[in-house]
């Protein structure tokens, strides 16, 4: 038996069109899952992204919606349920990061980040768990946290706050809903070679020097390694895990280094 085969498993991933999300989608679809991809990009943009992640077009579908809007979240889950049935696994992956010195961080930017990273994940998990309980169906929540959930990092304190909160939220879901056969776990990546981190690495020498020092393995994290962690948690190999953080960070959480 192939424990990594996700045949007949329906997986919802929020933020699935992002730089890391699309790699996760491709990995899950490549192991035979049906992947409901949620994001806020246009249908046209999503079609291009999913064509690369799932060239056959048979394992993925795009479901646009903003989880911070209650009516959109309800409609999103209704559409997925009508098309493929209630998801078996929900990956609360959508998120954003912004960088400013802590004393200059705009409060409006703080609010937006907390809404996107924390509130949307809570709302998605909450509504899905209501449906799982009503259907008496086992379920699995997977949250995307970060190595900085436990380690301060300059200029992204609201982001680290959101990820620390998500870790606590994941454990709350795991503890309260275990009796209903609902599990919750998290993946905590390191400094991934996409988005803001990659731009700073390429353009800001001071950031690159600090980041290089923070990565014991010596190179930025390939997004495929994040996808592999999701594959593991979505598979039967992780069937006895709940309330855990799978730390896949190249040793970043060992920071600060002694040297």
pLDDT in tens, 22-37: 999 999 999 999 999 9
- Asked if the model's pLDDT at residue 89 lies above 70, the reply is yes
Q: Where are the domains of the chain?
A: 10-190+227-247
Check the CA dihedral 69-75-80-81 and report its sign. positive
Coil/strand/helix, residue 144 = strand
**Both structure tokens of 254:** 């060992």
Residue 1: its pLDDT value, please? 66
- Asked if the model's pLDDT at residue 239 lies above 70, the reply is yes
Short-list 133, 129, 113, 134, CA closest to 170: 129
d(CA 124, CA 211): 32
d(CA 221, CA 114): 25
- Asked if the model's pLDDT at residue 88 lies above 80, the reply is yes
User: What is the residue-averaged pLDDT of the chain?
Assistant: 95
**Both structure tokens of 92:** 């609360």
Query: Which helix H or strand E contains 41, and what residues bound it?
Result: none
Q: What is the mean pLDDT of residues 99-110?
A: 97
Short-list 140, 235, 122, CA closest to 184: 140
Match domain 10-190+227-247 to its CATH number in 1.25.40.20, 3.40.50.720, 1.10.3720.10, 3.40.50.10950: 3.40.50.720
DSSP 246: E
């Amino acid at each position: 038996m192939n424990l990594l085969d996700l045949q007949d498993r329906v997986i919802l991933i929020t933020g699935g069109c992002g730089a890391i999300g699309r790699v996760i989608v491709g990995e899950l679809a490549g192991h035979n899952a049906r992947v409901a991809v949620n994001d806020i990009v246009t249908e046209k943009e999503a079609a291009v992204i999913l064509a690369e992640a799932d060239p056959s077009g048979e394992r993925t579908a795009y479901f646009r919606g903003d989880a911070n809007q209650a009516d959109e979240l309800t409609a999103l889950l209704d559409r997925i349920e009508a098309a493929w049935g209630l998801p078996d696994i929900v990956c609360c992956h959508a998120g954003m990061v912004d960088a400013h010195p802590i004393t200059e961080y705009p409060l409006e930017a703080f609010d937006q980040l907390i809404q996107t990273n924390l509130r949307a994940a809570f709302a998605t998990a909450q509504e899905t768990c209501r449906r799982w309980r009503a259907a008496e169906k086992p379920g699995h929540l997977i949250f995307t946290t970060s190595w900085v959930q436990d380690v301060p990092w300059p200029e992204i304190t609201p982001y680290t706050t959101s990820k620390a909160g998500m870790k606590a939220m994941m454990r709350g879901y795991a503890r309260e809903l275990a009796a209903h056969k609902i599990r919750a776990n998290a993946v905590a990546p390191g400094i991934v070679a996409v988005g803001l981190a990659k731009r700073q690495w390429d353009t800001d020498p001071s950031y690159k020097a600090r980041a290089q020092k923070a990565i014991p393995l010596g190179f930025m994290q390939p997004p495929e390694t994040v996808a592999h962690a999701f594959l593991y948690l979505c598979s039967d190999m992780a069937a006895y895990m709940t309330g855990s953080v799978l730390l896949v960070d190249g040793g970043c959480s060992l920071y600060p280094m002694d040297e």
